[in-house]
Structure 1
Amino acid sequence: MHFEHSPHLWQDFPQLVPGVLHAKGITARPAVPVDASVRELWARAAARNAAGGGTESGLPQIQAWRRAFASMGLKPTQYRCAAESLLRRFRKEGSLPDIHPLIDLCNAASLAYAIPVGVFDLARIEGDLQVRYALGDERYETFAGDEERPEPGEVVFADEAGRAHARRWTNRQSGRSAVREDTEEVLIVAEALHETAPGEMAELTEVLANVLRTHWEAVPRSAVLTRSAPRFEV
């Protein structure tokens, strides 16, 4: 299978910078505990927040996503990118809850770089996965198990079976392909739209690759995609 963003999305958002990683051998009990790595990334996020002296809404990474959401007709303070939601919770609570070691690390990396990071269980994705504008007939499964239909024109992560694995682009993932106790093979997708994204995405992608190597002894494949090279083969 392969992962890509649709040509229409690249046309409307030419500044897009996606980072993608694929890894096998994931378990809920990594070879090396993740706590120290998670707290190191939290510390990086906390230091940036303290130096900035403001809220996450002032970060260029978040401002870029707010502009993108507004251009799609979404109220940015109602529908936030996943990184902004995590940053808001971290600012208020000083930590994030434990979910799964890989999710905990990816959430911590998202905090550190203020970039949305999604993790998908590949066993629950059918065929190719494309980020595109919805037709309106896609099926989206919530974490509670309910089924929704994305609005036509909404940006979704859609597989070949017509299932939407994320709604409103980086706003909300689906419960269907969320990482579980028995997850073994994953696709990690990070996306950014801000001016300095190319360099930061390369760094974030390498951080995530090191996480996979260190804690799971995995051999990840990764790439930073571009409009001229938009496809990642799994």
Structure 2
Amino acid sequence: MTARTEDIKAWLDTVTIDPAVHALRPDYRALVVVAEGLIPGPSDEVSERLLVAAEESARAALAGAAPEDHPHLAAWRETFRAFGAKPQRTRPSAEALLRRAETGLPRVDRLTDIYNAVSVAHVLPLGGEDLDHYQGPARLVRATGEEPFETTAGGEAAVEHCPPGEVVWRDDAGVTCRRWNWRQCTRTRLTLATTRAVFILDALGPLGDAQLTAAGEALVAGLLESSPGAVTASRVVTCP
């Protein structure tokens, strides 16, 4: 498949954050990275090395402290509470991963492993989705309650509807990620056939712009090492 750098840059320009989200967290920034020409597949030596390094980094950074005491994760817990979520039950994604670092992060597939490693090493929520399954632009909004969210329940396909006011990522077809960065839908999840993907790195005030940039650079480096010849584009999206 020929990489279409102009196409992914054009798509990046359509990503938006709704003013209602800005009212909730004016300090929020999203670093959106799009990659094309990726080589999907099971976990490999590159993803394993990155995960092991992330596990070691997490142990050193936490030094026995609880993940939720980290300033950036504490800010995310506060944000979840602000739109009605209970972080003890539905944790910000980076906190959920950091809680597993001591005993070992999950090994899923090479693309998921890479972004999980960056999330843990840089202590920020980070999700990846299949761009070919998107319909229209990505936008961060507060749900109306009408948007469908495709998921699984009891091993079967199911459709849920978010409570009004929940912060969600969505496209023209429905919700792509619930509770800002808690759970992705099944429609756009990465698979062993994914060659074009979008990655969203979430930052609040305690994580500085330089740290956000460093996390994005680490993600791109991992993707390019795993998929030589891939092309990437990125953009920092802020509230209007």
Match of 1:41 among 34, 49, 54: 54
Runs of 4+ in 1 over 6 A off after TM superposition: none
Instruction: Give, in angstroms, the shift of residue 32 of structure 1.
Output: 7.1
1:111 aligns with 2:124: no
**Partner residue in 2 for 1:22:** 34
Instruction: Give, in angstroms, the shift of residue 180 of structure 1.
Output: 0.4
**Partner residue in 2 for 1:224:** 236
AA aligned opposite 1:109: V
**Partner residue in 1 for 2:129:** 120
Count residues in correspondence. Answer: 223
Where does 1:4-153 land on structure 2 (aligned, <5 Å)?
4-29=16-41, 33-50=46-63, 53-91=64-102, 93=103, 95-143=104-152, 144=155, 145-153=157-165
Residue aligned with 1:98, SS: coil
**Partner residue in 1 for 2:5:** none
Q: Do 2:35 and 2:233's aligned partners in 1 also have CA atoms closer than 8 Å?
A: yes
Q: TM-score, normalised by structure 2?
A: 0.87
Q: After the TM superposition, which of the residue ranges 80-89 and 41-50 deviates more from structure 2?
A: 41-50
Residue aligned with 1:223, SS: strand
- Percent identical residues: 30
Residue aligned with 1:189, SS: strand
Distance 2:37 2:159 in 1: 30
Distance 1:132 1:62 in 2: 21
Distance 1:20 1:7 in 2: 18
Q: Which string of whole-angstrom CA distances, capped at 9 and with x for unpartnered residues, describes residues 93-141 of structure 1?
A: 2x12211101011111111111110101011110111110111111111
Q: Do 2:94 and 2:119's aligned partners in 1 also have CA atoms closer than 8 Å?
A: yes
Unaligned runs of 5+ in 2: 1-10
**Partner residue in 2 for 1:191:** 202
1:200 aligns with 2:211: yes
Superposed CA RMSD in Å reads: 1.8
AA aligned opposite 1:203: A
Unaligned runs of 5+ in 1: 229-234
**Partner residue in 2 for 1:232:** none
Distance 1:212 1:108 in 2: 11
